[in-house]
């Protein structure tokens, strides 16, 4: 018991300052017997410098000294050090400084010099206790600060491995440890059977297989017990802290090895709570990502299947009428050219391309007799033809991924002057992309052979666009397209195969 007190006392450094060497000698005997570590000085000025240069925990100071009194020594020390615990020694009670001075200088205690220094020894012991408590409080404060600083880091979205590494790195300084590991359930892999994640630091920085070899059955049992009872298990120089999530489910453990775990244990528990929620969060994010990936895969497959289906439908439309074969591809091509002139984004250009390809998909619902009729259509037949934008919109509405294409397909025969179909919309009521498809569609129709007429010359088609600008077509769209048409030869080459 005595030895243990002495060992603890050695952790504290005492400075004795008295201009009478005899007092220092007597005090040394008493302090040495109690196992304290101390230094004695007779010069008060030297003492001030000593405190400035070295770390002392407690100062025993004579009051009446030459060249300066004890209270002046304290005054100077307090200018740079507020933590030093100071006990003032007085030769006689009447010679002690006034109480106000003692309070103002934060002198923690004073006593008269006695033959046996019993009273002083008691004051030193209680001083050391206070210092020890202050040290614990300070350590706790520092630990809490560290936790507060590190918590945002472990909440950042990052792979679970990095989070575990961060947690381990933050834990060690809290308890002055070098060796620790985390063992948690991987809830994202439970179905595959591979459901444990291990991360170690210090001597536990190992691969899972090597780590498993290190684990003895006894320790496994303690880990199990910490998890089942959701309680900290303290072993000799080791501690196992269960990780419990917000739903009070255990998700794993943190194991820490160290010589002095007791002091930091509360901090460790506090930090583990934060660690549990950040691990849980990371898992939830992974689960969401996994589900998202699965959904995206399914969505891509759906899209592919649907594109295949629509492509097949389009081929049927094209196949129905050799005169319109290739028309959809060319409309898509011209529309994209116009979109480029407007500096459209990649996404908008793709939307234009798909709208161009599918703009006439509704013709699949128009009877062959009307589609293939070589004479001029009568009013009833024309009304039937005019239904194709709505039919196309309905076909594409079946799948949500084409929801942006639907209004474009539906409005590709609307006119700026309101004389178009199916709804007779005017100007800005017509989606801008539909106005583009309308110009591309009309232009391609003009330069293609039809059953009832031959293709127009390029110049004639160009003039018809200009004539229709502001009535049938959007002025700005025509303007941009005419500008693009200056490269018509190049464009014609690019789509040459579809013109054949």
Nearer to Fe ion, 299 or 372 (CB): 372
Q: How far is the CB of 438 from Fe ion (least distance, A)?
A: 9
Q: Which residue has the tokens 């103002």?
A: 104
Local structure of residue 158 (DSSP, 8 states): -
The rounded Cα 170 to chain-centroid distance in angstroms is 18
Give the whole-angstrom CA distance, residue 371 versus residue 452.
12
Give the whole-angstrom CA distance, residue 316 versus residue 293.
34
Distances from the Cα of 80 to the Cαs of 60, 87, 301, in angstroms?
18, 18, 73
Q: Which residue is nearest to Fe ion (CB)?
A: 360
Nearer to Fe ion, 102 or 437 (CB): 437
Question: Which residues lie near Fe ion (CB under 5 A)?
Answer: 360
Q: How far is the CB of 419 from Fe ion (least distance, A)?
A: 16
Q: How far is the CB of 412 from Fe ion (least distance, A)?
A: 6
Nearer to Fe ion, 244 or 434 (CB): 434
Give the whole-angstrom CA distance, residue 138 versus residue 488.
80
Q: How far is the CB of 437 from Fe ion (least distance, A)?
A: 9
What the block records as the tokens of 70 is 């004890």
Q: How far is the CB of 423 from Fe ion (least distance, A)?
A: 15
Local structure of residue 499 (DSSP, 8 states): H
Give the whole-angstrom CA distance, residue 137 versus residue 134.
5
Q: How far is the CB of 439 from Fe ion (least distance, A)?
A: 13
Nearer to Fe ion, 339 or 389 (CB): 389
Q: How far is the CB of 292 from Fe ion (least distance, A)?
A: 38
Q: How far is the CB of 413 from Fe ion (least distance, A)?
A: 6
Three-state secondary structure call for residue 64: coil
Give the whole-angstrom CA distance, residue 148 versus residue 274.
10
10 Å CB burial of residue 86 (0-12, 13-18, 19+) is: buried
Q: How far is the CB of 388 from Fe ion (least distance, A)?
A: 6
Q: Are 184 and 258 in contact (CB under 8 A)?
A: no
Give the whole-angstrom CA distance, residue 202 versus residue 182.
12
Nearer to Fe ion, 187 or 405 (CB): 405
Give the whole-angstrom CA distance, residue 493 versus residue 500.
11
Q: How far is the CB of 191 from Fe ion (least distance, A)?
A: 50
Nearer to Fe ion, 62 or 360 (CB): 360
Nearer to Fe ion, 170 or 360 (CB): 360
What the block records as the tokens of 316 is 């049927």
Give the whole-angstrom CA distance, residue 253 versus residue 256.
10
Three-state secondary structure call for residue 497: helix
10 Å CB burial of residue 47 (0-12, 13-18, 19+) is: buried
Nearer to Fe ion, 258 or 392 (CB): 392
- Kind of pairing, strands 179-185 and 250-257? antiparallel
What is the strand order of the sheet 13-17 is part of? 37-41, 13-17, 58-62, 85-90, 109-112
Q: Which of 266, 231, 267, 225 is nearest to 248 (CA)?
A: 231
Q: How far is the CB of 359 from Fe ion (least distance, A)?
A: 6
Nearer to Fe ion, 360 or 444 (CB): 360
Q: How far is the CB of 393 from Fe ion (least distance, A)?
A: 12
Nearer to Fe ion, 123 or 332 (CB): 332
Q: Are 58 and 31 in contact (CB under 8 A)?
A: no
Q: Are 250 and 273 in contact (CB under 8 A)?
A: no
Nearer to Fe ion, 329 or 360 (CB): 360
Nearer to Fe ion, 360 or 414 (CB): 360
Three-state secondary structure call for residue 181: strand
What the block records as the tokens of 437 is 């498809």
């Amino acid at each position: 018991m005595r030895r243990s007190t002495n060992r603890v006392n050695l952790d504290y450094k005492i400075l004795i300052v008295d201009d009478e060497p005899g007092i220092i000698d007597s005090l040394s005997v008493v302090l040495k017997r109690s196992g304290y570590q101390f230094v004695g000085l007779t010069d008060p000025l030297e003492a001030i410098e000593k405190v400035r240069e070295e770390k002392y925990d407690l100062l025993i100071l004579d009051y009446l000294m030459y060249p300066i009194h004890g209270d002046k020594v304290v005054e100077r020390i307090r200018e740079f050090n507020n933590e030093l615990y100071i006990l003032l020694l007085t030769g006689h009670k009447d010679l002690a400084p006034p109480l106000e001075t003692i309070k103002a200088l934060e002198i923690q205690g004073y006593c008269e010099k006695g033959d046996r220094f019993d009273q002083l020894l008691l004051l030193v012991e209680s001083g050391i206790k206070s210092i020890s408590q202050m040290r614990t409080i300070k350590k706790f404060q520092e630990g809490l600060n560290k936790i507060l600083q590190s918590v945002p880091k472990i909440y950042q979205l990052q792979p679970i491995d990095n989070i575990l590494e961060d947690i381990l790195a933050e834990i060690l300084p809290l308890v002055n440890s070098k060796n620790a590991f985390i063992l948690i359930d991987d809830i994202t892999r439970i179905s595959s059977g591979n459901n444990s994640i291990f991360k170690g630091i210090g001597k536990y920085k190992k691969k899972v297989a090597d780590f498993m070899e290190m684990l003895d059955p006894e320790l496994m049992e303690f880990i199990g017990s910490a998890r089942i009872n959701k309680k900290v298990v303290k072993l000799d120089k080791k501690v196992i802290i269960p990780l419990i999530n917000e739903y009070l489910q255990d998700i794993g453990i943190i194991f820490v090895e160290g010589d002095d775990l007791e002091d930091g244990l509360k901090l460790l528990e506090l930090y583990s709570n934060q660690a549990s929620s950040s691990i849980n969060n990371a898992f939830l994010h992974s689960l969401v990502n996994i589900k998202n990936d699965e959904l995206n895969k399914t969505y891509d497959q759906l899209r592919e299947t649907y594109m295949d289906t629509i492509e097949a439908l389009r081929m049927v439309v094209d196949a129905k009428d050799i005169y319109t074969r290739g028309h959809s591809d060319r409309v898509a091509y011209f529309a994209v050219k116009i979109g480029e002139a407007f500096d459209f984004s990649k996404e908008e250009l793709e939307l234009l391309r798909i709208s161009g390809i599918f703009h006439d998909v509704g013709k699949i619902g128009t009877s062959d007799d009307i589609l293939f009729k070589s004479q001029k259509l009568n009013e009833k037949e024309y009304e039937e033809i005019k239904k194709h934008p709505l039919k196309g919109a309905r076909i594409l509405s079946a799948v949500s991924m084409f929801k942006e294409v639907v209004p474009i397909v539906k409005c590709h025969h609307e006119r700026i002057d309101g004389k178009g179909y199916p709804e007779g919309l005017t100007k800005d009521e017509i989606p801008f992309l539909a106005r583009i498809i309308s110009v591309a569609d009309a232009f391609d129709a003009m330069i293609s052979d039809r059953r009832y007429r031959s293709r127009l010359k390029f110049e004639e088609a160009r003039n018809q666009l200009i004539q229709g600008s502001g009535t049938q077509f959007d002025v700005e769209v025509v303007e941009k397209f005419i500008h693009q048409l200056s490269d018509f030869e190049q464009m014609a080459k690019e789509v040459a195969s579809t013109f054949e």
